[in-house]
Amino acid sequence: MKKLAATILMMLLLLSQVSFVFATNTDTAEIVNGEQVSQIVKIKEKTEAELESYEQKYGSKTYGYVAYALNKIRIYSIPICFIGMVVSALYQYFIGIRRLDIRDKGYHNMVMFITVIVVAQVLPLIFALVVIGWRR
């Protein structure tokens, strides 16, 4: 009986945590020169302009797409790898104090994240040197 009561109490607590959000203004578009421009359209135009600048810089549509993708990987790899290094350090120094296999797991993950961040930061530079430098 105690298990049933505890289960019902837990379900009531979980269900009471639900909150509803009602939108008051669903129009997120701006009016520019008499036309509505939403944020998605702005992001799309910005991305297309950035892709076009890469295409002009590298002289090919394929090279432009690759350079754009490498730049995005370079930007987003920094926070992801730092979070991974922090988790690896937790495994290595705090959780792995008593167990060597967990400490080794943290060490190997730390080496992996450092390698990924170095490769992600250096790869766009190597690509630019090879494509721009060797084509001339």
Residue bearing the bigger pLDDT, 18 or 42: 42
CA distance 76 to 86: 16
**If you average pLDDT over residues 107-124, what whole number do you get?**
95
Would you say residue 34 has pLDDT above 60? no
Mean of the per-residue pLDDT values of the chain: 85
**Per the confidence metrics, is the pTM higher than 0.75?**
no
> Looking at residue 41, what is its pLDDT?
81
Name the one residue in this structure whose structure tokens are 């630019």.
128
